[in-house]
Homo-oligomer: A and B are copies of this chain.
Amino acid sequence: MNIEKLKANKSFGGETAFYQHDSEITQTKMNFSVYMPPGNSPDGCLIWLSGLTCNEENFITKAGAQQYLSENNMMVICPDTSPRGLDLPEEHGSWDFGSGAGFYVNATTEGYKQHYKMFDYISKEIITVLTDNFKIDNTKISISGHSMGGHGALILGLTLPTQFASISAFSPIVNPINCPWGQKAFAGYLSDKSEYAQYDACELIKSNHKHPNPILIDQGQADEFLEKELLTDNFTKCCSDNNQALIVNYRDGYDHSYYFISSFINSHLAFHKKYWG
């Protein structure tokens, strides 16, 4: 695929860089950032999916992951959270729908269905970028994310368990059909309610989707969205009922911010690397 490097900064001996490419799937330009460790030959790559209002910049500037990635020869790629440069109905009117809020589904509603296909964008084009442009071994690609991106990591990893070596998430939306953010997004992106379950991590587990490795979740107990939007316990129950191995680390006093993510990101990176053989 033809990708254009827009900006690069040396960092911890490797390179933090921003790219753009023409996406066949979203029919727009798409942006992503990467950290490439020294030597340009990483052991594998973590795909990081960001949350509502974020873009390809948040994780790479605020998570403080580069030192660990450098020292452990790991790459990370951070796709943007939606197509950009469009002007669809309702696309720019609210922070929890449309631009910056793609929710990692393949939209089926009019207007959105031509562009907002973030599930396919991540699972097809980003994978192609990694294997073709960055020469990453297809069996050494893991997935993680934050909030809406944690939801994305869970549904992508559970739907495609042979594509993603391991799954983790910070503060994920685990049950979007039962929370306001998810209900709003699904109503806007999906034309029929029968499509909802395939994009809901709890429903996926209930319908016997599994990942062979344990799923790792970190969740702050002072997270202002825990009770109404994130619903972590629902996922714990589904996994327990259906024999999906799950590790949930509740973190006392931590909130929904990147200050929380940066505090524990190294443990997630170590978790994923373990599954790259």
Chain A interface helix/strand/loop/mixed: mixed
Q: Counting CB contacts under 8 A, is A106 at the interface?
A: no
Number of this chain's copies in the complex: 2
Q: Counting CB contacts under 8 A, is A276 at the interface?
A: no
Q: Chain B residues with Cβ under 8 A from A67's Cβ?
A: 64, 262-263
Q: Counting CB contacts under 8 A, is A254 at the interface?
A: yes
Q: Counting CB contacts under 8 A, is A43 at the interface?
A: no
Band of interface residues on A:
20 to 34
Q: Is the CB of A10 within 8 A of B258?
A: no
Q: Counting CB contacts under 8 A, is A232 at the interface?
A: no
Q: State in angstroms the CA–CA spacing of A253 and B9 once bound together.
A: 9
- Taking the closest CB of chain B, its distance from the CB of A36, in whole angstroms, is 12
Q: Chain B residues with Cβ under 8 A from A254's Cβ?
A: 9-10
Q: State in angstroms the CA–CA spacing of A263 and B260 once bound together.
A: 21
- Partner of A260 from the list B10, B222, B257 (CB cut-off 8 Å) is B10
From A7, which residue of chain B is reached at the shortest CB distance? Answer: B257
